Amino acid sequence: MSDTRVPTTDPHPQAGTTPAPSSAIPAPPAATTPATTLLTPLGLLTVLLGAALPLIDFFIVNVALPTIDEDLRAGPAMLEMVVAGYGVSYAMLLVLGGRLGDMIGRRRLFLWGLAAFGVTSLACGLAPDAWTLVIARVAQGGAAALLLPQVLATIQATTAGKRRAKAVSLYGGTAGVSSAVGQVLGGLLVSADLAGSGWRAVFLVNVPIAAAAWLLAARTVPETRSPHPSRVDGTGTVLLAVSLITLLLPLTEGRAAGWPLWSWLLLGVFPFVAVAFVLVERRAEQVGRTPLVPPSLLRIPSVHSGLAMLVPFSVGFGGFMFVVAVALQNGLHYGPFAAGLSLAPLCATFFLASLAGPRLVQRFGRRVVLTGSLIQASGLLALALTFRAGWPDVSVAGLAPGMAVLGVGQGLVLPVLVRIVLSELPATQAGVGSGVMVTTQQSGLALGVATLGTLFLALLPSLGIRDALLSVLLAQLLIVLGTTALALRLPRAVR
């Protein structure tokens, strides 16, 4: 097998092992500083395929949950764990995955992640009972955490100027479209019941895709790593993991388990562990060590303003995808295929808007995000009115206009936010910066499922499915209006 391995240094050497304050980190001139190693179009396609797999799998299971419940007799608590196990382990290990890629090679970690993702997907698809499926999903989330941070880090380290802007926009489009495609594909596979596989096909389909991506990556993805690799921040890694577990686990599992004492204890512990993590990371940077999440990285204006908007956007997006999947199947009695198909207009317009993003943002800057947020709000309002007026006879075609408008708005927001967060990121911190951003996005998606999903399920007994759904859409509309205000803090011009 041929190999395109090339020099392993990043395009912009690091001056020292301790990140400098944001004011001391000059952003490399994107138009004039070429990357030492180039990512070919086929290599870019390959890493984007690798990025799509973990994102698709976060959502693909939503439409398969009723079938899993019927086949494995899982029950509500176990079904929550099928979703939460993947999301928590994925979010918990993302930053570590980015740091390991910086240390031992991003291409190498990408290949390891693809192989592990394929094996754990096979384990999910062959699971004989609910507990085995939960354990396999936790392992699958860990594999995804090895894989995904290497994508943005590789793009940052092997592209520059307009090529980087286009690649980052394509990544943002892939991230958004993959989330919706997951539910469309999941509905199609469950309905097709290939060879009697039923829900198992939503996991087994990953195996040949991961294998093909592995073969392509071995030939087309260049190797890069930080020229000054540092030791893993063990204390920071443990504290970040405990912080995410104490927040995400009770929020995703507490309702299904009846809010037992342990869920409240974990939520009570969370703020103390989170503060301890911040203090440890700050101290590590002050004494010259390299923390897991360098505080100076978060002081870069484009990073902190972009992440501040990415959190509520992801919360709304994650909650919407989960609630709509449940409402369409349980309220409108859509089958898995129809429930997935209803999101197809959102997928299409999201992708088209993300393709237009690079040219629009070059001309209009942050106004693209402001406009996208307002369009997203219009789409949510249109869907709410459609559900209110047509329930319970709302067709897939009747949902299409609102879904299409929503997709345009989201497609103008997410890819631009990704580009903003990465725009001033030093190439030597590409891995950790990508890990921080993806962890923020993933945690937001999980929080959206936990908070908006819990709101929806809590309102069902008293309001019914339609009014519970309308309440969640109203809550998401308020979140979108909040993100519109946060867009005013973004840099006026986007590199």
Q: What is the pLDDT of residue 37?
A: 65
Q: DSSP labels for 150-218?
A: HHHHHHHHH--HHHHHHHHHHHHHHHHHHHHHHHHHHHHHHHHTGGG-GGGHHHHTHHHHHHHHHHHHH
Average pLDDT of span 74-81: 75
Mean pLDDT, to the nearest integer, of 314-332? 86
Report residue 189's pLDDT band, with 50, 70 and 90 as the boundaries. Answer: confident
Reported as type and span, the H/E element at residue 118 is helix 106-125
Q: Which of 9-13, 150-154, 195-199 bottoms out in mean pLDDT, i.e. has the lowest?
A: 9-13
CA-to-CA distance for 74 and 133, rounded, in angstroms? 10
What pLDDT was estimated at residue 433?
73
Least confident of 2-11, 240-249, 323-332, 338-347: 2-11
Q: Is the pLDDT of residue 493 over 60?
A: yes
Tens digits of residue pLDDT in 357-395 = 777 877 887 888 889 999 999 999 999 999 999 898 899
Task: Specify whether the CB–CB gap between 444 and 312 falls below 8 A.
Answer: yes
- The average pLDDT across 304-310 equals 87
What confidence tens digit (pLDDT) does each residue in 402-432 have? Answer: 999 999 999 888 888 887 887 777 766 666 6
Three-state DSSP at 92 gives: helix
Q: Stretch 466-487: mean pLDDT, rounded? A: 90
- Say how many Å lie between the first and final Cα of the chain, rounded: 38
pLDDT at 11: 41
How much is the pLDDT for 26?
A: 38
pLDDT value, residue 6: 41
In the predicted model, what is the mean pLDDT of residues 244-261? 82
pLDDT above 90: percentage of residues in the chain: 28
Q: Residue 22 has what pLDDT?
A: 37
pLDDT of residue 217: 93
Of 160 and 23, more confident: 160
pLDDT of 236: 86
Decide if pLDDT at 100 tops 90.
no
Q: What does the pLDDT average to over 85-89?
A: 83
Distances (CA, A) of 156 to 172, 317, 392, 418: 14, 26, 48, 12
pLDDT, greater one: 84 or 26: 84
The pLDDT, as a whole number, for residue 427 is 63
Tens digit of each residue's pLDDT (9 = 90 or more) over 131-172: 999 999 999 999 999 998 888 888 888 887 778 878 877 887
User: Does residue 12 surpass a pLDDT of 50?
Assistant: no
Q: Is the pLDDT of residue 398 over 70?
A: yes
- For residue 318, what pLDDT band results from cuts at 50, 70 and 90? confident
> Measured on CA atoms in the order 168, 173, 178, 180, is the torsion positive or negative?
positive
Higher pLDDT, 33 or 402: 402
**Upstream peptide bond of 392 is cis (omega within 30 degrees of 0):** yes
Tell me the pLDDT of the chain averaged across its residues: 82
pLDDT value, residue 250: 86
pLDDT(175) > 90: no
Least confident of 179-193, 200-214, 341-355: 179-193
pTM, two decimals, is 0.78
Query: Sorting pLDDT into bands at 50, 70 and 90, what band is 15?
Result: very low
Tokens of 416: 């631009």
